[in-house]
Amino acid sequence: MAAGFWSRVVVAGAAVVSLAGCGKADLAVIEAPPCPEGASARPERQRERPAGTVWAWAPLFQAPEGTPREGAVPGLSDVVSIADGGHTMVAVRGDGTVWSYGTNAAGSLGHGSRERHYLAEPRRVTGIGPAHAVYGSGTTFYVVLRDGTVTAWGSDRFLVRGGKREGYEGVGTPERVPGVKGVAAMGPGPLNAFALRDDGRVLGWGINLTDVLGDRDGTRLTTIDGVEGVVDVASAGGAVVAATADGRVCAWGGNAHGLLGVEPRGGQSGRPVLVPGLRDVVQVAGGSDVAYALDRDGTVRAWGRGAGGALGDGDRSDHASARPVRVNGLPEIRRIAAHGLTGYAVDTAGGLWAWGSGLTLGEHASRTARPVRVPLPGPALDVSGHHAIIGTE
């Protein structure tokens, strides 16, 4: 009994010493409320997606001179999901086939070659199917198949192979990500990947620089502890944000830009914490250290890094907010997305709105820190980077 007592004293003393060495930001993160328990609803893995054609309003990066600046992408009809990585664009059609075009960056086209070249018209990526949806981060792409497994390829072998340290050269043909199954959706980041399982838990693998994989060592596939009942997940650069079935938002990772919703900004947490000020959230999106949340009323809120106007608050300076702020000037919204420091929103009538750096908006960029309407030939169903899926009127 005495030994047990003194062991508890030693542990408590160590904790006090540890806390004494923390700054205000570190203490604020430690004391932040945990992600609440009890949300048990599960995401819909095979939710039907509306199909349309693909429209580009700016060329992909490193496209050759003379490439059309705007227009329909040839051959991409009946498309249900897109992922624009900047250099390469990948699409899933309603029949479950996968197509890609653009610049091949270390295998990002998925056609076998790792040599850099430009493909002007989409070509089918073989060895996959049937596919449900595609997600991308840079030049690495992840396809969720209809059976809940994930196939990946692209410039980062490390991520394609589930965080196994087997080198960093590209993977030119699709490979099954080992150990990943039962997946409903994904939210990959530049250094790591996150998959939402159909039981409401989140899987992660890759670089754990800011504890985005939790309080652990290693890079291999793991289940994120402390968060459950998740219905949507997104990487926001240095942190991860997740919407839960009860409409709240949890976050974990780095708080340098306030992505954990904790002030003063700074510190990091592998323990998911509750982001205050968000209710009835149905979707989240993440960019370059900025996050967005959409609630049931169609309102969009943003927090994190506001460089280039990414917060939609009218300020283009490199500032940050740990408090989610409403993105004003938008009608009722039904879907959100993000790319770098640009936020996107699709309204209930199919209008596409954007704000932020404007790097992906081409000639439609007005360098505004407030939402602007992006002209399209039809209603937008979804958006990624320089591309949107356009439905029929």
Q: What is the 3-state secondary structure (H, E, C) of 215-238?
A: CCCCCCCEECCCCCCEEEEEECCC
Kindly state the DSSP code that residue 60 receives in the 8-state scheme. Answer: P
pLDDT interval class at 41 (50, 70, 90): low
Q: What pLDDT does residue 2 have?
A: 40
Q: Which residues pair with 123 in a beta bridge?
A: 100
- Please check whether residue 90 is in contact with residue 134, taking contact to mean a CB–CB distance below 8 angstroms: yes
Single out the residue of 144, 227, 213 nearest to residue 184, CA to CA: 144
Task: Name 393's bridge partners.
Answer: none
Taking 60 as the threshold, does the pLDDT of residue 117 lie above it? yes
Q: Which residues contact 159 (CB under 8 A, 6 or more apart)?
A: 140, 152, 188, 192, 193, 205, 206
Mean pLDDT of the chain: 91
Mean local confidence (pLDDT), 209-227:
95
Strand order in the sheet with 118-125: 79-84, 88-93, 98-103, 118-125
- pLDDT at residue 11 above 80? no
366 has pLDDT over 90 = no
Nearest-CA neighbor of 34 among 225, 217, 196, 195? 225
Spell out where 218-367 has E strands: 222-223, 230-235, 239-244, 249-254, 268-274, 281-286, 290-295, 300-305, 320-326, 333-339, 342-347, 352-356
pLDDT tens string 63-105? 999 898 899 999 999 999 999 999 999 999 999 999 999 999 9
Residue 263 is which amino acid?
E
C-alpha distance from residue 180 to each of 152, 195, 291 (Å): 11, 8, 25
Q: Which residue has the tokens 């340290």?
A: 165
Angle, alpha carbons 252-148-169 (nearest 5°): 70
Tell whether pTM > 0.85: yes
Tell me the percentage of the chain whose pLDDT exceeds 70. 92
The answer as to CATH 2.130.10.30 being correct for domain 32-390 is: yes
Domain ranges of the chain: 32-390
DSSP letter, residue 63 = P
Residue in the block written with tokens 């340098």: 256
Residue-level pLDDT at 109 = 98
Query: Alpha-carbon Rg of the chain, whole angstroms?
Result: 21
pLDDT digits (tens, 9 = 90+) for 175-187: 999 999 999 999 9
